[in-house]
Structure 1
């Protein structure tokens, strides 16, 4: 391996490590809010605020994930297409709609949306539009977030 290739591999490893750290750090609010939600009763004074925080954060994260796909869609030479740009607008709209759905259905919708987004992101990896490490990261986060949403579904049912 030449020096340029070695630097590229090292840089990609640092990028993956940073992305994994930030993504897991970004999962912390979901984890904390869902655990708190499961530990309080339906009449707790902080329940409505907890629900609003959790739902709004989930909608924001779906918008962020849609933005990643917008960015990938703009890299036309790497396999992105105008259709990808259009499809990247769907996650924020679904998140917005899920925000207004009643409990517990809001969390079922969020679970389905995060699962669909994770699958779509892995299609980008398989099409070589996104790096392989992104696929591994998205699988991990999809499992964590979808499981959390199902736990929130149960806690609000």
Structure 2
């Protein structure tokens, strides 16, 4: 991850903890039982992933909104409109049960990666942005897939 500043890298990796924890507690029943007892049922398995995933998609909308401030006129309007899509996607598609919500979050994070690439291509995101976003998105999608497909 050369070129990625340490603070965004470490904070991005730390932000993966709920996704990884959710995947691990989904496949390990002993850890799931411990987590349920110590943290509550909302903080294990796919449930922690789904809630946190919706939060992170919304957070990423805010990041894209910040990138949109670096442009003007019709391009700014386009960027602002695109920036709200991840939050709206999370809001409208994460109901309907854990499997459907998980699939929709996977789609949302892949779609977000395309938006990240567009903002990066337009010179609105830092040069190192896509290195970090590809890594984080791959891990998020893999973890969500555990809850959906296993």
TM-score using structure 2 length: 0.82
User: Of residues 94, 99, 112 in structure 2, which corresponds to 1:99?
Assistant: 94
Mapping 1:80-95, distance limit 5 Å: 81-95=76-90
Once the two structures are superposed, residues 49-102 of structure 1 have per-residue CA deviations (whole angstroms, 9 ceiling, x without a partner) of: 23432211111100011100001111116x951111112111112112333131
2:50 aligns to what? 55
Check conservation: 1:67, 1:88, Cα contact below 8 A. Answer: yes
1:121 aligns to what? 116
The number of equivalent residue pairs is: 140
1:29 aligns to what? 18
TM-score using structure 1 length: 0.78
Moved more, 63-72 or 93-102: 93-102
Which structure 1 residue ranges, 4+ long, deviate > 3 Å from structure 2? 44-48
User: Of residues 130, 141, 150 in structure 1, which corresponds to 2:145?
Assistant: 150
Instruction: Kindly report the root-mean-square deviation, in angstroms, between the aligned alpha carbons of the 2 structures.
Output: 2.4
Once the two structures are superposed, residues 109-131 of structure 1 have per-residue CA deviations (whole angstroms, 9 ceiling, x without a partner) of: 11110011012102221221111
SS of equivalent residue, structure 2 residue 98 = coil
Structure of higher CA gyration radius: 1
Structure 2's unaligned 5+ residue stretches are none
> Are 2:121 and 1:132 equivalent residues in the alignment?
no
